């Protein structure tokens, strides 16, 4: 193409791009419902719990007797307690079970702030204190999914007497980050993403139904995702303030942990399970723990949410681990 037409084409394409962006921003503000009615993800939703991490929503079910079990969902653009639904419903038949909506997700406070591992750990501390107060101060079992396993590990290091055991499902931090020191998020990236002019429109693109399906298929390593989770994620991601915690996640603020300095120091029994399919299968440092008597490491032919795919096998292995802890 001659130089003169090319020079004329550049500004035209820029104007078209600006026009498309403006049209999407307008559609996001006027055409997308950001206040969809959101039902509880699980049975037994409780009154909001005040804490240093802000208002926390949680669920409680099951009999009063037995060692309480706390379940903690993962962190992603549309995370919520529905991610632990199979485990919650299963264990509510035999023991007291709780599920926490982390700050910025579900029914918990979704205010405009920087979300950090310290904030998430403070939320776990508050939830565990509430559970122990309800059950006579007994130490609990706790299980966390994906990135939240790092937050749970930090909480257990700070207050080990709170826990009888720890369960980690598809935990992050066993890949190349295991040996990294002090990774930190980008304030600039978060500020750009969270600019009020386009933040909601940008997030709406990220959590569109095709985008969510794409990322869930990566999580599952298969197109056979849980359709109920996708449907609930759509509702959860279209609530006021739904973008704030994910923007901190995408900017890297929630990955500021030194997993190689955290996981080896845990002195409670730890059960870890992960799958072999999808985008989340880098566990190159997991072998470090296979000979440790405190750790039990299981691998299943699943994606990163094995409790959705093979619940009976997941619970059987977890129960066998707990039986060994009780000896």
Q: What is the CATH number of the domain that holds 220?
A: 3.40.50.1820
278 lies in a domain? Answer: yes
2 lies in a domain? Answer: no
Residue 178: the pLDDT is 79
- CB of 257 within 8 A of CB of 144? no
- CB of 88 within 8 A of CB of 71? yes
46 lies in a domain? Answer: no
Average pLDDT, the chain: 86
Provide the domain count of the chain.
Answer: 1
| Model confidence at 18: pLDDT above 50 | no
Residue 193: the pLDDT is 47
Residue 159: the pLDDT is 97
More confident residue, 147 or 32: 147
Residue 213: the pLDDT is 96
pLDDT confidence tier of residue 308, bands split at 50, 70 and 90 = very high
239 lies in a domain? Answer: yes
81 lies in a domain? Answer: yes
Closest by CA to 53, choosing from 126, 2, 138, 158, is 126
26 lies in a domain? Answer: no
Residue 247: the pLDDT is 87
Report pLDDT digits (tens) over 70-84: 999 999 989 999 999
| Model confidence at 3: pLDDT above 50 | yes
- CB of 76 within 8 A of CB of 102? no
CA-to-CA separations, 299 to 16, 90, 175, 303, in angstroms, rounded: 50, 21, 16, 10
Q: Measure the CA angle with vertex 146, ends 140 and 147; round to 5°.
A: 90
- CB of 132 within 8 A of CB of 162? yes
The percent of residues in the chain predicted with pLDDT above 70, rounded, is 82
The percent of residues in the chain predicted with pLDDT above 90, rounded, is 69
| Model confidence at 40: pLDDT above 70 | yes
Residue 252: the pLDDT is 81
Sort 251 into a burial class: Cβ within 10 Å, 0-12 / 13-18 / 19+: buried
| Model confidence at 33: pLDDT above 60 | no
| Model confidence at 61: pLDDT above 90 | yes
Note down the domain range covering 219.
Answer: 57-325
Residue 181: the pLDDT is 62
Q: What are phi and psi of 117, to 5 degrees?
A: -60, -35
Mean pLDDT of 63-67: 95
34 lies in a domain? Answer: no
Residue 253: the pLDDT is 83
Residue 47: the pLDDT is 80
Lowest mean pLDDT among 97-101, 151-155, 240-244: 240-244
Report pLDDT digits (tens) over 153-208: 999 999 999 999 999 999 999 998 877 665 555 555 444 445 554 467 778 878 88
Q: What are phi and psi of 313, to 5 degrees?
A: -70, -40
210 lies in a domain? Answer: yes
| Model confidence at 293: pLDDT above 80 | yes
| Model confidence at 11: pLDDT above 60 | no
More confident residue, 36 or 10: 36
């Amino acid at each position: 193409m001659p130089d003169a037409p090319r020079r004329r084409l550049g500004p035209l394409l820029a104007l078209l791009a600006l026009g498309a962006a403006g049209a999407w921003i307008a559609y996001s503000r006027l055409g997308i419902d950001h206040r969809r009615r959101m039902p509880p993800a699980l049975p037994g939703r409780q009154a909001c719990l005040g804490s240093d991490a802000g208002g926390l929503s949680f669920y409680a079910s099951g009999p009063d007797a037995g060692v309480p079990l706390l379940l903690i969902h993962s962190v992603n653009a549309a995370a919520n307690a529905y991610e632990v639904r199979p485990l919650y419903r299963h264990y509510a038949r035999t023991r007291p079970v709780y599920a926490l909506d982390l700050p910025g997700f579900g029914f918990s406070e979704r205010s405009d702030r920087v979300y950090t591992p310290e904030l998430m750990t403070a939320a776990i501390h508050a939830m565990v204190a509430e559970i122990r107060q309800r059950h006579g101060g007994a130490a609990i079992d706790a299980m966390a999914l994906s990135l939240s396993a790092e937050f749970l590990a930090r909480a257990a290091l700070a207050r080990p007497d709170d826990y009888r055991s720890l369960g980690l499902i598809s935990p992050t931090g066993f890949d190349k980050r295991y040996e990294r020191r002090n990774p930190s998020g980008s304030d600039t990236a978060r500020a750009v993403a969270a600019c009020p002019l386009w933040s909601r429109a940008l997030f709406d693109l990220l959590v569109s139904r095709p985008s969510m399906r794409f990322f869930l298929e990566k999580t599952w390593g298969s197109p056979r995702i849980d359709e109920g989770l996708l449907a609930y994620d759509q509702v959860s991601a279209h609530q006021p303030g739904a973008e704030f915690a994910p923007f901190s996640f995408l900017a890297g603020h929630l990955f500021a942990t030194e997993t190689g300095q955290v996981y080896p120091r845990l002195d409670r029994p730890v059960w870890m399970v992960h799958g072999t399919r999808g985008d989340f299968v880098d566990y190159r440092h997991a072998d470090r723990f296979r000979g440790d008597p405190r750790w039990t490491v299981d691998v299943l032919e699943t994606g990163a949410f094995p409790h959705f795919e093979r619940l009976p096998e997941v619970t059987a292995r977890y129960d066998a681990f707990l039986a060994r802890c009780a000896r």
